Amino acid sequence: MKTRRTSLLAGLLALVATPVAWANDLQLNMTQGSTDMSQHVYGLHMLVFYICVVIGVLVFGTMFVSIFRHRKSRGVTPAKFHDNVKVEIAWTVIPFLILVAMAVPATITLFEMDDTDDSDLTVVVTGSQWRWHYSYLDHDVEFQSILATQNEQIYGRLPKTENYLSEVDRPLVIPTDTKVRFLITSEDVIHSWWVPEFAIKKDANPGYINEVWTRVNEPGIYRGVCAELCGQGHAFMPIVVIAKEPAEFQEWINAEEERLAAERAEEERLLSMNMSMDQLMETGRNIYLAQCAACHQPNGQGIPGVFPRLAGEGVSVGDRTQHIDIVVNGVSGTAMQSFQNSLSMSEIAAVITYERNAWGNDTGDAVQPADIHNFIQGNQ
Amino acid sequence: MSTVVADAHDAHDEHHDHKPTGIKRWIFTTNHKDIGTLYLWFSFIMFLLGGSFALMIRMELFQPGMQVIDPHFFNQMTTMHGVIMVFGAVMPAFTGLANWMVPLMIGAPDMALPRMNNWSFWILPVAFLIMLSSMFVPGGGPAFGWTFYAPLSTTYSADSTALFVFAMHIMGMSSIMGAINVIVTIMNMRAPGMTYMKMPLFVWTWFITAFLLIAVMPVLAGVVTMVLTDKFFGTSFFAAAGGGDPVLFQHLFWFFGHPEVYIMILPSFGIVSAIIPAFARKPLFGYASMVYATASIAGLSFLVWAHHMFTTGMPTVASLMFMYMTMLIAVPTGVKVFNWVSTMWRGAMTFETPMLFAIAFVILFTIGGLSGIMLAITPVDYQYHDTYFVVAHFHYVLVSGAVFSIMAAAYYWLPKWSGVMYDEGLAKLHFWCSLISVNILFFPMHFVGLAGMPRRYPDYALQFADINAIVSVGGFLFGFSQLIFLAVVLKCAMKKGEKAPAKPWEGAEGLEWTVPSPAPYHTFDTPPEVK
Amino acid sequence: MSQQNPNSENSSIITKLLASVVIMFAFGFALVPLYEKFCDLTGFNGTTKNTAAAEREGMQVDESRWVTVEFTTRADRGAPWSFRPEVRSVRMHPGEIKVVNFIVDNHSSTNRVAQALPSVSPGEASLYLNKTECFCFEQQPLTAGETAVMPMRFFLDPDLPQEIQRLTLSYVMYDITDQAQSGQTASRSE
């Protein structure tokens, strides 16, 4: 009996102690973030939180005293009072004053956020199902940013790594100590660009632009997510922002401009030659898994009624030009987007070749970058 | 609850002295008690169904990675869970309580429009059959959340959206018919001497709720119609390509949606205001201020809708306006909480199950209200918006708020409905299981939300794993605890229990306790005199 | 209390309530034009007028201020063209008139009709951005393979609030070939 009680006690203690053990490596509160604004937001959050805790303690405290003392089993006789004008006025006015006390700092912070002073860098952030596209307004640099976590991790065939679902192939890079302005919009449904450490969350509305700004104090890697339900890939379009010292940022963006220029030159070169079937299939497979598999599924089965099947039926085994048209231009009014601006011609050629030959489609068609070029130029 | 049997009272009932039996009784009934019973059973079934959808969600979220269901089905589950709980569980439960109790409380023989009453109930199961059947058409059911934001619900949705819209229309009609009935009944059928300021608060809160329903359900009908025409008939209310604005959808939806939130909580205020005085054996503190507070909450509810939309990109001045209005709602809500606490103060309390649920309501609803104040603060809302912090907030208000108050009401009035006392031991077990599990379920959501987990995510980053596991365990515990409630109610329905007196609660007040238990099929054929 | 003649009293209340239901249903739809009007007047959602503003006689150029106007463009998903501004941004004084060209490249082998719709950020600035001539006022017919250079002539109202130092005008070019054929038009505000 004695031992049972001890073990029960130990169990209870463990239960109470566990939250303490977690607290070290487990985040239970809002991040303080890495910008002045996010610190203000955190401060405001804690202020309001403490006020709420005090109110809660007072109200619930009174209740518990009452529950303990004013119970029939203690033989009390109930009082008869049922109103008291003074008290009622007091508890209308005092909460009002408390609210005013909260509203003042909230208003100040909101006006600080609404700062349209000139900025030094503008980044256009475009959401689409289910990726982010970044374009630096004053530089020849634009790219899309896609979830880098493998499907095998999501479906439990590989162990999950540290940054599971918070890693992307190409992070956004911004300079520190600089006012960076983000113009946020969408290509299809509403998304929401949220980086908690900047205290920025803004909806990406199709056809409209929204702006937010930040000034990051510390270099580092900051992770965010899409915060507005945007379909089945909603949880799979994370955001990664790398903040670099301004000089380093300058180096990066110059290198990036050069690299993208070189890519375009390479594109030109590829146009004049044929890629081998193996090369097309290899590149095509990678592009397909990164860009297409979320909807059409890795095995090309699609989702009946929502996303067309590509294996053994439909456009992949049908007319080649129509297939190119769909990938290049998208299908208006559906989730099928245009890949003309997000993929290079060689990549488009490769992924079409892959779709026409994978999963037993075996049409034997090899689509070359030049075919895509000709199609876009309207020569086909 | 299907236990209202004819007794001696029927014998000297002039107009209808026969009552059809079997299934026909329920299909053709125009009796407010029968219809109330139908509503309550329907809402309980929907509560279990919506709950099982929630358990699907919690099962998938038990650990990171996709294990049980795919993301598309997950989104259907979140959508259906929301729609069913809002329109299928909470609202019909309140309508059921209104049907049963409003005539009994104001001394009326029945609802004013009994045939319409029958219709307003029976179209409801039809609506939900349509809604549920949409999950079996190609492309799956609605997967855009119960808020069905355009263009996810228009251009980018499956064809089953047509069924969703149709079902919403029918539900809306049902609610509007129910609301008209309540208003007419309260305005025209009160017993002599029952002035407005003598009406029990449950009647008052429902009266105000009914006006809210009349005001906003047609707007919802308009919005779903626009979604339908945008998707199928080429209009561009919400499509940027045609000159529309997707944000307009949110304005219209929340113009309905925010008053809707109060539709789901005002009747709770009425229930708790009946139960706390009964078990404190002391009159309700501040009756008049309760009425005014309810009315001002209802009025303010039309001026705060955009606090759901702070991140859509509003001008600062507009954000400020909506922030101030939202904070202002805390004042009348606070008045109510203080009134309940003052009612308990220096009373002589006992703690039967209705009282336990009512006390839990006051505490947990207040926690939800306090997190509501935090959410009202626009700059901080940017961090809370669309995270589990919001999920925690509205579940505190709707589950440990609205649903707990419905449980309290059920226990409070079960003796009147069934004629037998419920099993107090089982009921207390139900209460404590629910209380503990509801907090395991929803309290940690605050933390995981603050730490940055967005809502409506089928999968999440590893740092959220521990809390999600706890939440899922809480979810299953809470879900299965409700089967105890089912057992309690079934026992009463089968008349297993001590015979209930006309007034089983020592401190209870009101006309409903002047009729025998179970309440006869026809009551107040001659109106009682209220002094 | 009103047991005497409940039916006639009921029907009068029911009539009023049903009327309220109808009115609220209509109100839901009325909110659509009201919202558009409200946005026009306040710049609430950042749309600019898609109609020509008159050039003002003797408008003062405020040379003490510089404002940067940025341009972003996008072809709608599925629209077979590329669409870009000739310059990414201009620095200008309020009151000064500027012309910026936008270039659209129709890749398709068919004749198409395009319509550009604007959005301005910050939204308030849309009230002060006046276009006297713009491709966006009309539908743009694009023949197969055509490259069109389309001008936009505009000025910033000198009353532009001091704190706005940088604003962005964004265009999305939609393919409205189908609607244009069936006689419908797309416009945002009139």
The identity of residue B53, as a single letter, is F
Residue of B nearest to C3 (CA): B189
Structural domain boundaries enclosing A327: 272-379
SS3 state of residue A106: helix
B350 among known catalytic residues:
no
Would the pLDDT of A11 be above 60?
no
- What does CATH list as the number for B31-246? 1.20.210.10
State how far residue A332 is from chain C, nearest Cα, in angstroms: 5
A205 shares its domain with A331? no
A45 shares its domain with A143? no
In a domain, A26, yes or no: no
- Which helix (H) or strand (E) segment is A242 a member of? strand A239-244
The identity of residue A315, as a single letter, is V
Rounded Cα–Cα distance for residues B175 and B182 (Å): 11
Q: Hey, are the CB atoms on A55 and B370 less than 8 Å from each other?
A: yes
A153 shares its domain with A247? yes
Handedness of CA B334, B338, B341, B347 (dihedral sign): negative
A87 shares its domain with A147? no
Rounded Cα–Cα distance for residues B400 and B426 (Å): 19
SS3 state of residue A178: coil
Nearest CA among A261, A262, A220, A263 for reference residue A243? A220
State the DSSP code for B505.
S
Out of A138, A211, A338, name the one closest to residue C77 (CB).
Answer: A338
**The tokens of B422 are what?**
């419920």
Q: Hey, are the CB atoms on B180 and C39 less than 8 Å from each other?
A: no
Q: What integer pLDDT is reported at residue A127 of this predicted model?
A: 94
Rounded Cα–Cα distance for residues B51 and B399 (Å): 11
Q: What is the DSSP string of C48-61?
A: PPSSPPPPPTTPPP
Partners of residue A231 in chain B, C-beta under 8 Å: 75, 143, 152, 156
Report yes or no: A58 at the B interface, CB cutoff 8 Å. Answer: no
Nearby residues of A28 by Cβ (< 8 Å), 6 or more positions away = A22, B447, B450, B451
Rounded Cα–Cα distance for residues B228 and B156 (Å): 12
Q: Hey, are the CB atoms on B382 and A41 less than 8 Å from each other?
A: yes
- Each of the 531 residues of chain B gets a pLDDT tens digit; together they read 344 443 444 444 444 445 677 888 899 999 999 999 999 999 999 999 999 999 999 999 999 999 999 899 999 999 999 999 999 999 999 999 999 999 999 999 999 999 999 999 999 999 999 999 999 998 889 999 999 998 999 989 989 999 999 999 999 999 999 999 999 999 999 999 999 999 999 999 999 999 999 999 999 999 999 999 999 998 889 988 888 899 999 999 999 999 999 999 999 999 999 999 999 999 999 999 999 999 999 999 999 999 999 999 888 999 999 999 999 999 999 999 999 999 999 999 999 999 999 999 999 999 999 999 999 999 999 999 999 999 999 999 999 999 999 999 999 999 999 999 999 999 999 999 999 999 999 999 999 999 999 999 999 999 999 999 999 999 999 999 999 999 999 999 999 999 999 999 999 999 999 999 899 999 998 889 887
Lowest mean pLDDT among A337-341, A343-347, B440-444, C162-166: A337-341
Report yes or no: B68 at the A interface, CB cutoff 8 Å. Answer: no
State how far residue A366 is from chain B, nearest Cα, in angstroms: 32
Rounded Cα–Cα distance for residues B320 and B376 (Å): 10
CATH topology of domain B265-518: Cytochrome C Oxidase; Chain A (1.20.210)
Out of A56, A164, A304, name the one closest to residue B370 (CB).
Answer: A56
| Catalytic one of B32, B33, B190, B336 | B336
Rounded Cα–Cα distance for residues C160 and C65 (Å): 10
A258 shares its domain with A132? yes
Partners of residue B366 in chain A, C-beta under 8 Å: 56, 59-60
Residue of C nearest to A208 (CA): C119
CATH number at residue A53: 1.10.287.90
Mutate to test the interface with C, among A190, A209, A212, A377 (most CBs of C within 10 A): A209
CATH number at residue A151: 2.60.40.420
Higher pLDDT, A156 or C108: A156
State how far residue A131 is from chain B, nearest Cα, in angstroms: 15
SS3 state of residue C91: strand
Query: Which chains would you list as touching C if contact means 3+ CB atom pairs under 8 Å?
Result: A, B
Q: What integer pLDDT is reported at residue A7 of this predicted model?
A: 54
A170 shares its domain with A227? yes
In a domain, A255, yes or no: yes
| Neighbour-count burial for B150-188, b at 16+ CB within 10 Å, e otherwise | bbbbbbbbbebbbbbbbbbbbbbbbbbbbbbbbbbbbbb
A190 shares its domain with A247? yes
Domain ranges of chain B: 31-246, 265-518
Q: What is the DSSP string of B86-137?
A: IIIIIHHHHHHHHHHHHHHHHT-SS-S-HHHHHHHHHHHHHHHHHHHHGGGS
Same fold, B31-246 and B265-518: yes
Which pTM was predicted?
Answer: 0.89
- Secondary-structure percent of chain A, ordered helix, strand, coil, rounded to 5: 50, 15, 35
Q: What is the tally of structural domains in chain A?
A: 3
A109 shares its domain with A128? no
The identity of residue B263, as a single letter, is I
Nearest CA among B327, B334, B336 for reference residue B291? B336
State the DSSP code for A165.
T
The identity of residue A83, as a single letter, is D
ipTM of the complex: 0.90
Rounded Cα–Cα distance for residues B10 and C33 (Å): 57
Would the pLDDT of A14 be above 60?
no
Q: What percent of chain A has pLDDT over 70?
A: 91
Mutate to test the interface with A, among C47, C121, C136 (most CBs of A within 10 A): C121
* β pairing state of A200-204 and A239-244: unpaired
- CB contact at 8 A, C13 and B187: yes
Which pLDDT tens digit goes with each residue over A238-296? 999 999 999 999 999 999 999 988 888 877 777 777 888 888 888 888 889 888 888 88
**The tokens of B73 are what?**
């089905």
A245 shares its domain with A317? no
| Catalytic one of B231, B307, B430, B503 | B307
Please list the ranges in chain C whose pLDDT falls under 50: 1-4, 186-190
Q: What integer pLDDT is reported at residue A19 of this predicted model?
A: 47
B159 among known catalytic residues:
no
SS3 state of residue B298: helix
Q: What integer pLDDT is reported at residue A22 of this predicted model?
A: 46
B33 among known catalytic residues:
no
B25 among known catalytic residues:
no
Mutate to test the interface with A, among B148, B382, B384 (most CBs of A within 10 A): B382
Rounded Cα–Cα distance for residues B239 and A181 (Å): 26
Which pLDDT tens digit goes with each residue over A351-371? 999 999 888 888 888 888 888
Rounded Cα–Cα distance for residues A333 and A316 (Å): 20
In a domain, A17, yes or no: no
How much is the average pLDDT of A94-119?
91
Handedness of CA B304, B305, B307, B311 (dihedral sign): negative
**The tokens of A52 are what?**
């709420």
Out of A118, A330, A333, name the one closest to residue C166 (CB).
Answer: A118
- CB contact at 8 A, B365 and B347: no
Q: Hey, are the CB atoms on B241 and C45 less than 8 Å from each other?
A: no
State how far residue C88 is from chain A, nearest Cα, in angstroms: 7
Report yes or no: B341 at the A interface, CB cutoff 8 Å. Answer: yes
Q: Hey, are the CB atoms on C14 and B184 less than 8 Å from each other?
A: yes
In a domain, A9, yes or no: no
- CB contact at 8 A, A125 and A182: yes
**The tokens of C113 are what?**
């009709």
In a domain, A211, yes or no: yes
| Catalytic one of B78, B174, B301, B366 | B174
In a domain, A250, yes or no: yes
Partners of residue B251 in chain C, C-beta under 8 Å: 31, 35
Q: Hey, are the CB atoms on A124 and C72 less than 8 Å from each other?
A: yes
Rounded Cα–Cα distance for residues A33 and A41 (Å): 9
Q: Hey, are the CB atoms on C184 and B234 less than 8 Å from each other?
A: yes
Which pLDDT tens digit goes with each residue over B215-249? 999 999 999 999 999 999 988 899 888 888 999 99
Which pLDDT tens digit goes with each residue over A195-237? 999 999 999 999 999 999 999 999 999 999 999 999 989 999 9
A317 shares its domain with A342? yes
